[in-house]
Amino acid sequence: MHYGVAVIGGGQAGLSMSWHLRRAGLDHVVFERDRVGHEWRDRRWDSFCLVTPNWQCDLPGFPYQGDDPDGFMLGAEVVDLLEKYAAAFDPPVVEGVEVRRLRRTREGVFDLVTSDGSCTADQVVVATGPYHRAAVPRLAERLPSRIAQVHSSQYRNPEQLPEGEVLVVGTGQSGCQIAEDLHLAGRRVHLAVGSAPRAARRYRGRDTLAWLAEMGHYTRGIDQFGDADEVRLRANHYMTGRDGGRDIDLRAFARDGMRLYGRLLGVDDGTATFGDDLARHLDHADAVADGIKDAIDAWIAASHIEAPHEDRYVPVWQPGRSPRALELGDVAAVVWATGFHRDHRWIEVPVFDGRGYPTHDRGVTSEPGLYFLGLPWQWTWGSGRFAGVARDAEHLTGRIVETRRRRVVEDVSWLAGTPTETYPSLDWWKAA
């Protein structure tokens, strides 16, 4: 089987790509190794909800249709959204088929080896996102065998873990929210704090993300940053949409009984050791939150917007001398909220840098006809989210159309023995 375009991944990125390809009249297929919505259905905990407001769930040809634009969808609601989106335009999704190998053939097409046989395609869009393999540090091997270990992608609810205290490692969005989930369930939680920043949920009468969207932060291109590679690696700001949305304040967690530590350094003889950096991480997170508020204040003033005054945050807890060790005798489980590794080993095309990141310009790689979609900061802050994936998919569709048209022109020129310049416009390329 041969396709004009093969899209790999049937999440919001792959479906958005399919919508634009269909609109352009392009023959294509979407391979999804599981089911539409798999990542949201099977790799999120029970109380999970989006951090971004519902109004940002704006897919191509399918704007948010609910009655709570400022609310935050639960995981099951996200799955329902994607299933309804797929039903709305019936994309050519082949579910239960995994692409296991991608390479360029001598004939210039792409060869895809799947769990259901092989096929070829003129162009390929990799829309599998960045979250492939759970990242668990090797020091996990040093934990006593009696301690249950789960990665954040495997965590579902407090009842899943054995009775006893829980150590959560990592304070990105997942780590903070899982720690809160356990804390609210009455579990004794120990939290190893990293360098992730935080943001206020609301400020001066509006959701902080609404202010940032109005200020253009979601559409600011990566090319406007002098350190683009570092920007792409930055952790997301932690907050939550739980119970209508609120701040996540690790200091408040500590005030209410959670034990906070610095970065986890090692495990030896039943004792976990931590860095002396807890205060620095907490201060950094607060400083980032204040910096965002500073930017909002400046925008309000410059735009002459009427907005209520709001006092700045005052720390509710100070770490003093942070503990450097934790005896693990009462710890029954560890949750590794330590992120993911990208895994593109199945792609046998030389488009990756030394860290295994696909080199690209707004999703367009140096290999003609190979594209990526749905990467964090692929082009803007919103690229890895519902908010920006539609715009990126539209851009890639334009490039795919351009590449296809150029090939048609070259083929016609070769057959006719006529210079390509004599064919400045071919409106019939879509039918080729």
Sheet holding 331-336, edge to edge: 148-151, 331-336, 165-169, 189-192, 259-261
> Using CA atoms, how far apart are residues 208 and 60, in angstroms rounded to an integer?
24
What is the tens place of the pLDDT at every residue in 27-49? 999 999 999 999 999 999 999 99
* Average pLDDT value over all residues in the chain: 92
Using the predicted structure, report yes or no on whether residue 305 has a pLDDT greater than 70.
yes
Using the predicted structure, report yes or no on whether residue 432 has a pLDDT greater than 70.
no
- Once rounded to an integer, what is the mean pLDDT over residues 400-428? 59
Q: For tokens 């090939």, what's the residue?
A: 407
Q: Assign 369 to helix, strand or coil.
A: coil
Question: Which pLDDT score is estimated for 415?
Answer: 52
> Using CA atoms, how far apart are residues 259 and 251, in angstroms rounded to an integer?
10
Question: Which pLDDT score is estimated for 289?
Answer: 98
> Using CA atoms, how far apart are residues 424 and 176, in angstroms rounded to an integer?
56
What long-range pairs does 78-81 form, CB within 8 A, spacing at least 24?
78/37, 78/40, 78/50, 79/37, 79/40, 79/41, 81/57
- Once rounded to an integer, what is the mean pLDDT over residues 111-118? 98
Using the predicted structure, report yes or no on whether residue 425 has a pLDDT greater than 80.
no
Extended strands (E) in 262-403: 264-268, 271-274, 325-327, 331-336, 340-341, 370-372
What is the tens place of the pLDDT at every residue in 350-393? 999 988 899 999 999 999 999 999 999 999 988 988 878 999 99
Task: Report DSSP state, residue 313.
Answer: P
Using the predicted structure, report yes or no on whether residue 130 has a pLDDT greater than 90.
no
Question: Which pLDDT score is estimated for 322?
Answer: 73
Largest CA distance in the chain: 80
Question: What does the angle CA 408 – CA 412 – CA 418 come to, to the nearest 5 degrees?
Answer: 135
Higher per-residue confidence, 62 vs 423: 62
Binning pLDDT at 50, 70 and 90, where does residue 427 land? very low
Identical fold for domains 2-132+342-431 and 136-339, yes or no, is yes
Domain boundaries, the chain: 2-132+342-431, 136-339
Using the predicted structure, report yes or no on whether residue 431 has a pLDDT greater than 90.
no
CA 246 to chain centre: 21
Nearest to 169 by CA among 198, 193, 145: 193
**In sequence order, what are the residues at sequence separation of 6 or more whose Cβ sits closer than 8 angstroms to the Cβ of residue 234?**
none
Question: What does the angle CA 36 – CA 39 – CA 41 come to, to the nearest 5 degrees?
Answer: 80
Q: Are 21 and 5 in contact (CB under 8 A)?
A: yes
**Which tokens in the block code for residue 53?**
């407001």
3-17, 206-220, 351-365, 405-419: least confidently modelled range: 405-419
What percent of the chain is predicted at pLDDT more than 70?
A: 94
CATH superfamily for 2-132+342-431 is FAD/NAD(P)-binding domain (3.50.50.60)
> Using CA atoms, how far apart are residues 385 and 379, in angstroms rounded to an integer?
11
90-94, 331-335, 348-352, 403-407: least confidently modelled range: 403-407
Binning pLDDT at 50, 70 and 90, where does residue 54 land? very high
Q: Which residues of 141-167 are buried (b: 16+ CB within 10 A; e: fewer)?
A: eebeeebbbbbbbebeebeebeeebbb
- Once rounded to an integer, what is the mean pLDDT over residues 126-135? 93
Other Cβ atoms within 10 Å of 236 Cβ, number = 17
Q: For tokens 């965002």, what's the residue?
A: 292
**Which tokens in the block code for residue 342?**
């990208």
Question: Which pLDDT score is estimated for 235?
Answer: 85
Q: Are 177 and 158 in contact (CB under 8 A)?
A: no
> Using CA atoms, how far apart are residues 227 and 370, in angstroms rounded to an integer?
25
Residue 377's DSSP bridge partners are none
Using the predicted structure, report yes or no on whether residue 426 has a pLDDT greater than 80.
no
CATH superfamily for 136-339 is FAD/NAD(P)-binding domain (3.50.50.60)
Question: Which pLDDT score is estimated for 320?
Answer: 85
**Which tokens in the block code for residue 276?**
């002396």
What sign results for the dihedral spanned by CA atoms 404, 405, 408, 409?
negative
> Using CA atoms, how far apart are residues 400 and 371, in angstroms rounded to an integer?
9
Binning pLDDT at 50, 70 and 90, where does residue 231 land? confident
Using the predicted structure, report yes or no on whether residue 199 has a pLDDT greater than 90.
yes
**In sequence order, what are the residues at sequence separation of 6 or more whose Cβ sits closer than 8 angstroms to the Cβ of residue 418?**
none
Q: Are 61 and 88 in contact (CB under 8 A)?
A: yes
Question: Which pLDDT score is estimated for 417?
Answer: 59
Using the predicted structure, report yes or no on whether residue 195 has a pLDDT greater than 70.
yes
> Using CA atoms, how far apart are residues 60 and 394, in angstroms rounded to an integer?
9
- pTM of the shown model: 0.91
> Using CA atoms, how far apart are residues 358 and 345, in angstroms rounded to an integer?
11
Question: Which pLDDT score is estimated for 261?
Answer: 97
Question: Which pLDDT score is estimated for 381?
Answer: 87
Question: Which pLDDT score is estimated for 421?
Answer: 41
Question: Which pLDDT score is estimated for 288?
Answer: 97
What is the tens place of the pLDDT at every residue in 262-276? 999 999 999 999 999
Question: Which pLDDT score is estimated for 422?
Answer: 37
50-54, 57-61, 413-417: least confidently modelled range: 413-417
